[in-house]
Structure 1
């Protein structure tokens, strides 16, 4: 395997401590030629779903390489540490679902990280990002064959998160809140194609049904197309419908946490 020269890092470590720098340092010592790309280190603590969504939406724009995701509330327990290869990429992290939305549907191979000669010693029970995942990723970036990291197992045995749900019906689409970003923008599992299928047109308001509430929301190309403080629906950079408040926080205003059910309708439809 030729050196990939790229390692990406996604964690919930934050930026106040030296955790991220330690991971960078481990990679630099083992694979000094590798380019390290920080996806984010501000994933909300232990929010595996948010980490999985950020990873899945970012990786398509990164070079092929080794992608490390450490959102790991089970660190030090019996949860597996894994490396998964597929689609020209390798994903390294805990087997808790954080990698699952990136694993290809076919041709993927999964390995448990059991080759301790690749780890740092002494091993910390609470910092596997530094002592397990970073060194293994660095060795892989330097050209190590993935089969050397440990025992292969059936990829179907990986822990997976439920895929975000959506269902298109005549004139409406049911979806859920996929993520909420740091601006309070609410990203839905509803896609731009779903909106076209129900006849939604930019410039014509959408009906947004939130439990017993039904809102009529302007559908625009960007949140800046409405006055400050106004609610707006738009298709975000990941191709998903999002709800935002221009210069405000839509998640707080609407009370929409990740996983909440949302129904979207073309505002002229009679089905909402």
Structure 2
């Protein structure tokens, strides 16, 4: 058997949720094969079957993950002819394991491309399965554990051309006559809506308060460009550079996604508001009833 590099960390992302036993079972399978490996749960809250959201979440996380094995399972094609793959990146610093459906592609691109890849076809490194519906438990989890234990990728299956890996579809913003056409990439649990805009794409007037018009399919609002939430009044709409360096639509102590009626995949048009006398429309925040104030 060819021996490869050993890894101490397995970072795990999926759409399994936490209601059923799926995540715990995969943890246990990994532990039985590689008891030394530390499993980091990145998230299991990706919307079911949402490959793009999972791919973007993995890409956002990639630069902060410990070198090691990355196990990603969002697999609407489970049981079909789609390939199960392991992809080595960064000169062997990390290996990504998951379905070849575009889920891994944004991260592979972000870290400079794939060094090599294999199709996970060697059944000696899989669990015997009564059915084909749980590849996370039977194929991907065991593969991640064996790779962490030092099994070389070449032992796990046939080599595949890295150019044949399924690409991820990443939306691109564009500048049109009516403004910047962007797409909502992600809405976090606070309702902040990240869009696919680099801050440099915004027209900023130095030493002035900059206001921008934001249009959705049914709403138009004015937002102020700010550096921190502190610069916004309660319920005031803003544009901010988020923790990943992209533009986000936000509301102080409120949900911008709810106010703008937007979600992942929706289009927004952002343009400089020349007439900044148009005031932002504040959101009315719910106040606690006096009788309930002590219930917190």
State the TM-score, normalized to the length of structure 1: 0.90
CA distance in 1, matches of 2:165, 2:128: 27
> Could you tell me which of 16, 22, 30 is aligned with 1:19?
22
- Could you list the per-position Cα deviations for residues 194-230 of structure 1 after superposition, in whole angstroms to 9, with x for gaps in the alignment? 33xx336684222223347442101222335323333
Matching residue of 1:249 = 255
CA gap of 1:25–1:200, structure 2 versus 1, over 3 A, is farther
CA distance in 2, matches of 1:107, 1:128: 23
Shift of 1:119: 0.6
> Could you tell me which of 225, 232, 253 is aligned with 1:219?
225
Determine if contact 2:30/2:144 at 8 Å carries over to the other structure: yes
CA distance in 2, matches of 1:106, 1:160: 11
Shift of 1:243: 1.1
Q: Point out the more displaced range, 206-215 or 85-94.
A: 206-215
1:154 aligns with 2:166: no
Matching residue of 1:90 = 95
CA RMSD in angstroms, aligned pairs only: 2.3
Shift of 1:167: 2.9
Shift of 1:269: 8.8
CA distance in 2, matches of 1:4, 1:176: 37
Equivalent residues in 2 for 1:1-272, closer than 5 Å: 1-87=4-90, 88-104=93-109, 105-168=112-175, 172-195=179-202, 198-199=203-204, 203-211=209-217, 213-268=219-274
Q: Point out the more displaced range, 259-268 or 39-48.
A: 259-268
Shift of 1:146: 1.3
Q: Which runs of 5+ in 2 are unaligned?
A: 277-296
Q: Which consecutive aligned stretches of 4+ in structure 1 deviate over 6 angstroms post-superposition?
A: none
SS of residue matched to 2:108: coil
SS of residue matched to 1:101: helix
Determine if contact 1:174/1:190 at 8 Å carries over to the other structure: no
SS of residue matched to 1:190: coil
Shift of 1:66: 0.8
CA distance in 1, matches of 2:156, 2:25: 21
Determine if contact 1:178/1:189 at 8 Å carries over to the other structure: yes
Q: Between Structure 1 and Structure 2, how many residues are aligned?
A: 268
CA distance in 1, matches of 2:200, 2:94: 27
Determine if contact 2:204/2:210 at 8 Å carries over to the other structure: no
Shift of 1:77: 1.5
Q: Which runs of 5+ in 1 are unaligned?
A: none
CA gap of 1:248–1:64, structure 2 versus 1, over 3 A, is same
Shift of 1:93: 0.6
CA distance in 2, matches of 1:224, 1:50: 29
